[in-house]
Chains A and B, each alone.
Chain A
Amino acid sequence: GQNIDQPTEMTATEGAIVQINCTYQTSGFNGLFWYQQHAGEAPTFLSYNVLDGLEEKGRFSSFLSRSKGYSYLLLKELQMKDSASYLCAPLTGGYQKVTFGTGTKLQVIP
């Protein structure tokens, strides 16, 4: 089976930096996706990490440690529109399935 662990909710202030952590236990790990999902909408692709280390993409950065089964998403210069759920999703197995946990609901406050 697979286990994905993220905080359920987080609150951060507009303009600040927030780090959303994710630990996972999977079999046949290939890489890890991060998605953003606003309420009532489909997920939007943010990043995909295969190798260990930090990948930066504008205000969003994602880090992966394969040996520790750990990843985080770093959001800088938070904006109100960043209020959403953030989904950590490992890509696993021969069929390369992406599976999701319940995600982290981030609320950005003024």
Chain B
Amino acid sequence: GAVVSQHPSRVICKSGTSVKIECRSLDFQATTMFWYRQFPKKSLMLMATSNEGSKATYEQGVEKDKFLINHASLTLSTLTVTSAHPEDSSFYICSARDRGLGGETQYFGPGTRLLVL
């Protein structure tokens, strides 16, 4: 089946630094990718929809200047957490939509655990 990779899987950083997370669709082209955040024992919260070649669409309450999204190619989207603070510590998961012959499918990457000290 289709695979979505994410890098890094874990990152620890100091407060005030920026962290970049990469999301790649490995065997299909994804015109649309999604970024989610999940706190412990809570549901996945959609942060933004990333469209190849255009600006991301952010959900209400998500700061676009803090969470920079770039979808430079059909297989790569990046999320940069700028000036990270401890409250940004979370599990960040990307997802890519595959509209192949098998029908509509949305696959998730393995996630990135961010800990901001």
Whether the Cβ atoms of A42 and B108 lie closer than 8 Å is yes
Whether the Cβ atoms of A101 and B110 lie closer than 8 Å is no
Q: Which of A58-101 contact B (CB under 8 A)?
A: 87, 91, 95-101
A residues in contact with B75, CB < 8 Å: none
Q: Taking A97-B46, A99-B46, A101-B43 as contacts, is the C-beta distance between A45 and B107 under 8 angstroms?
A: yes
A45's partner among B34, B57, B108 (CB-CB below 8 A) is: B108
Bound CA span A99–B44, Å: 8
Question: A31 — nearest CB in chain B belongs to which residue?
Answer: B104
Check: A29 CB closer than 8 A to any chain B CB. no
Whether the Cβ atoms of A41 and B106 lie closer than 8 Å is no
Whether the Cβ atoms of B42 and A102 lie closer than 8 Å is yes
Q: Taking A87-B44, A102-B42, A102-B43 as contacts, is the C-beta distance between A42 and B110 under 8 angstroms?
A: yes
Query: Which secondary structure dominates chain B's binding surface?
Result: strand
User: What's the least CB distance linking A7 to chain B, in Å?
Assistant: 14
Check: A44 CB closer than 8 A to any chain B CB. yes
User: What's the least CB distance linking A90 to chain B, in Å?
Assistant: 12
Number of interface residues of B (CB under 8 A): 22
Check: B103 CB closer than 8 A to any chain A CB. yes
Number of interface residues of A (CB under 8 A): 21
B residues in contact with A33, CB < 8 Å: 106
Check: B77 CB closer than 8 A to any chain A CB. no
User: What's the least CB distance linking B36 to chain A, in Å?
Assistant: 8
Question: A101 — nearest CB in chain B belongs to which residue?
Answer: B43
B57's partner among A31, A95, A101, A102 (CB-CB below 8 A) is: A95
Whether the Cβ atoms of A98 and B46 lie closer than 8 Å is yes
Q: Which of B7-30 contact A (CB under 8 A)?
A: none
Check: A50 CB closer than 8 A to any chain B CB. yes
Whether the Cβ atoms of B42 and A44 lie closer than 8 Å is no
